[in-house]
């Protein structure tokens, strides 16, 4: 079995190859290592190989790793569904939150973000797969919601996040990401200062890069298959 640092290297090479293939600069595409279910020791191994940004889906699990690895000054992104009663822990401990799809959640995060920290960096989660998934705002409702979120004092709206339905066919993967990209461009044209398109996971990040992703969120290809207990 390949080590985490070997996996990291091969993911970085694949990101760079996809960037070149689709006329992008490798530097435009950030890598978020999704460490959910993996112990702090695995995060430390990826960090030792040069990885700075980590994504977590579960608040308590994320907090434990943030605390344990505090000395390493890593960047922590909350990417899981966020319940109202968990917003404070995210506001106080994470650097980013990608999964905002309701104004209420954004307002709570803004109110609860400590003044001693930089504003929480956030993405609006958009549902580009229609009926089949429940998370994410309908693209038709994204602009007014994005405007309200962008106006909140303790948040910085950075862009959009999408999790399309799993899809094996490359051109269908691209089609879902293309919807997100079109919306991203539209919101920028409307005057929102966005720079982050958070899209692409282990099985589809090449398609996401082809369609303009600026941040791929990769778990399995770095840490291995997850084992949910
Ligand atoms: C788990 C997860 C990922 C990583 O998925 P892999 O298929 O393991 O790369 C990315 N984004 C979100 C929102 C996730 O929940």
How far, in Å, is the centroid of ligand 1 from the Cα of 36?
Answer: 8
- The answer to whether position 158 is within a domain reads yes
- The answer to whether position 152 is within a domain reads yes
The tokens of 110 are what?
């803004």
- The answer to whether position 228 is within a domain reads no
Q: What pLDDT shows up at residue 61?
A: 97
> Domain with 168 in it: what CATH number?
3.20.20.10
- The answer to whether position 119 is within a domain reads yes
- The answer to whether position 64 is within a domain reads yes
How far, in Å, is the centroid of ligand 1 from the Cα of 116?
Answer: 30
How far, in Å, is the centroid of ligand 1 from the Cα of 146?
Answer: 23
Number of separate domains in the chain? 1
Q: What is the pTM of this model?
A: 0.97
- The answer to whether position 92 is within a domain reads yes
How far, in Å, is the centroid of ligand 1 from the Cα of 217?
Answer: 6
- The answer to whether position 229 is within a domain reads no
Q: What pLDDT shows up at residue 131?
A: 67
Q: What pLDDT shows up at residue 227?
A: 86
Domain interval for residue 190: 4-223
Q: What pLDDT shows up at residue 2?
A: 85
The tokens of 157 are what?
């709206």
Query: What are the residue ranges in the chain where pLDDT is below 50?
Result: none
Alpha carbon of 134 to those of 60, 125, 127: distances in Å? Answer: 23, 11, 8
Binding-site residues, ligand 1, Cβ < 6 A: 34, 36, 57, 79, 163, 201-203, 217-221
- The answer to whether position 41 is within a domain reads yes
């Amino acid at each position: 079995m390949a080590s985490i640092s070997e996996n990291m290297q091969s993911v970085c090479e694949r990101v760079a190859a996809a960037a070149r293939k689709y006329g992008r600069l490798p530097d435009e595409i950030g890598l978020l290592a999704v460490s959910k279910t993996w112990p702090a020791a695995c995060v430390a191994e990826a960090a030792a190989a040069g990885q700075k940004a980590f994504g977590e889906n579960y608040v308590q699990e994320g907090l434990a790793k943030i605390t344990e690895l505090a000395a390493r000054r890593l960047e922590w992104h909350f990417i899981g569904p966020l319940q109202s009663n968990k917003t404070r822990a995210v506001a106080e401990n994470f650097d980013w939150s990608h999964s905002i799809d309701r104004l209420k959640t954004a307002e709570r995060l803004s109110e609860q973000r400590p003044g001693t920290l930089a504003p929480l960096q956030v993405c609006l989660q958009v549902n580009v797969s229609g009926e089949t998934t429940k998370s994410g705002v309908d693209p038709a409702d994204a602009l007014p919601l994005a405007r309200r979120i962008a106006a909140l004092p303790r948040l910085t709206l950075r862009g959009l996040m999408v999790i399309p339905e799993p899809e094996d066919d490359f051109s269908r993967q691209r089609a879902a990401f293309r919807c997100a990209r079109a919306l991203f461009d539209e919101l920028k044209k409307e005057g929102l200062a966005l720079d982050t398109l958070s899209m692409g996971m282990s099985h589809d990040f090449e398609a996401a890069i082809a369609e303009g992703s600026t941040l791929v969120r990769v778990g399995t290809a770095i840490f291995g298959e997850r084992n949910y207990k």
